[in-house]
A and B are shown apart, each in its own frame.
Chain A
Amino acid sequence: MISQNHQHADDITNSFPGMNEAIILRKLIVNQSIRVENLDVYIEEQHILKDINMTIPEKSITCIIGPSGCGKSTFLKTLNRMHDETPEVKITGKVFVDDENIYGPGVNVIDTRKKMGLLAQRPCPLPMSIYENVAYGPRIHGIKRRKAINQTVIQYLQYVGLWDEVRERVHTSATRLSIGQQQRLCLARGLAIEPEYILGDEATSALDPLSTKKIEELFVKLKEKYTIILVTHTLRQAKRIADYIIFMYLGKIIEEGPTESFFSNPKKQLTRDYLSGSFS
């Protein structure tokens, strides 16, 4: 079944040579902020991401959907240069962020990572208190004033709806939080460094419906200031909050478009199959 689909995917991309038209059109309409050109990623000789071309519009939410193992996390990591840490990953192509190729010469990796706030798929609290977890980012980026840090910590814990739950124990270890709480803490920690982009890798996967709703509302609010890319496995979530959808399959972008038309009128058979749940 899987290999059949794979074949299918190849057929489809080959038979639509003009599929970049949509992208070009969008470039004209909206301000672009992230532009990916001919991106290929190989991990230990395996071709993981295949010729990715896309434009992410600024101040909006773009959701990446696709079956497990299709390369969504790998893609997000190419956007903040996390693959630098693993030499077995080879990357070719260009990723422009605000018109600067982050894989170009002389790019400061630390600045890039600060700019691209990546929230990892598995929440990982730092071995310190809840308070210090959120304060850590601002601290290493040079904020020293106690008052400023205090304010930041409280603000972002409130943002993610964690403050009321933990206000009595903000100075106790963060590792004792529940997984859902850890996920929100990591979100607060990532926002506290004040990135310009938010790359969320299944940022709500461990949350109950109510907290999920709160975080979704937060993202919708945040898109006034930030450009947001979210990976999600919940199609309904993508429908609820996304402005644009990108559907990936086996390392390729199969289809992309504004949320409305993507869901109401998918162009590719593979997309229709995925949306109807024939495979996942």
Chain B
Amino acid sequence: MLLIPCPWCGPRDESEFRYGGEAHIGAPANPGSLSDADWADYLFMRNNPKGWFRERWMHAQGCRRWFNAVRHTVSNEIAAVYRMGEPPPPAPGPGREGET
């Protein structure tokens, strides 16, 4: 089970959280002028890196607030958590297992 550091409550068990998938997907500024391909990209296409990933979590059984995390998708190492609206920290170097 992951130990996830909620930026408000501190480290808690993964089972208290809800996963929100990839972070920083902004709603389109001009929805009326989007092509079908643009809509597909916004609605369905996702990064799925083997390595560092910026993702959203919600502390469902705690403060019930959303936040972002930078987690490595092989080692599960969490390099940073930051609150909604804060700028994402720069991507860390290679992960513990030498994966990129």
Q: Are A and B physically bound partners?
A: no
